[in-house]
Structure 1
Amino acid sequence: MKTIDKLAWIEIHDGRILSTRSKGRSKYYIPGGKREENENDFAALSREIKEELDVDLVEETVNYFGTFQAQADSHPEGVEVKMTCYTGSFQGTIQPANEIEEVVWLGYADREKVSPVDQIIFDWLKEEKLLS
């Protein structure tokens, strides 16, 4: 089994989670991405968030949130994605940048619009009463 190692930023406001849709895609994804060689989690996550949303994560506020794993979207069966998630404050105004076409705030009712690993995260957030 192959595992894709990714990082994600969990930003929740008023019971809704920040999600993005890349150009040419129909599903929404929690913002983040893969680390480059020799990057630690914060360096990779902050780089990805800057590239996707044009905001800067505030390092001293970034905290581990959880790790979730599921079948990788748009990959052959047996390829899984492991998503290590963090929360944290940011500076700037969130806006779509580079490959991101749309930025949205999703509730639990939008669960079917996201990737399998994001669905697991949505379920956990709903259980914890963080997502409405």
Structure 2
Amino acid sequence: MESGETELECLQREIKEEINCTVKKTTPFQTFEGRTHDNAQSLRVTCYLVELEGEITPANEIEEHKWIDKNHKLKLTPIFTEQIIPELIKKGMIKWQTLTKLQE
């Protein structure tokens, strides 16, 4: 976050900078707390549900982007595999057969 910026202002700015979309609507989802991979620092992730306007166009600094399905092997930090994704599944917002593929 930049100095003097609220979470929502930061969210809107980052979405505009990174994928060139405008945030039409935001709904707070949940805040999750955990540790980094090496357990050296605490980590806090505040999640929002957003409705976007515009076509997703990644910024030049983004090397690759893609939609993934449940069969894709993806290495994520524990806060995602142990907290965020299970909460999204529990609330019926995403469907995922197993989290073991996420942790491989």
Q: State the TM-score, normalizing by the size of structure 1.
A: 0.61
> 1:52-63, aligned counterparts within 5 Å?
52-58=18-24, 61-63=25-27
1:95–1:66: structure 2 CA closer, same or farther, 3 Å change rule? Answer: same
Which structure is richer in relative contact order (CA contacts within 8 A, separation 6 or more)? 1
Q: Deviations over 1:68-116 (max 9, x none)?
A: 122225xx42312201111121111112214322222234555742222
Larger Rg: 2
Secondary structure of 1:69's match? strand
Letter in 1 for 2:77: S
- Counterpart check, 1:125 vs 2:88: yes
Q: Residue 43 of structure 1: CA displacement?
A: 0.8
Q: Deviations over 1:40-79 (max 9, x none)?
A: 1111011111111111112xx2111100122225xx4231
1:107–1:82: structure 2 CA closer, same or farther, 3 Å change rule? Answer: farther
1:106–1:117: structure 2 CA closer, same or farther, 3 Å change rule? Answer: farther
Secondary structure of 1:68's match? strand
Q: State the TM-score, normalizing by the size of structure 2.
A: 0.75
Q: Is the 8 A contact 1:56 1:91 kept in 2?
A: yes
Structure 2 stretches lacking a partner, 5+ long? 96-104
Q: Is the 8 A contact 1:108 1:122 kept in 2?
A: no
Secondary structure of 2:57's match? coil
Distance 1:48 1:87 in 2: 14
Query: What is the aligned partner in structure 1 of residue 5 from structure 2?
Result: 39
Distance 1:70 1:86 in 2: 18
Q: Identity of aligned pairs, percent?
A: 31
Q: Is the 8 A contact 1:68 1:117 kept in 2?
A: yes
- Counterpart check, 1:64 vs 2:28: yes
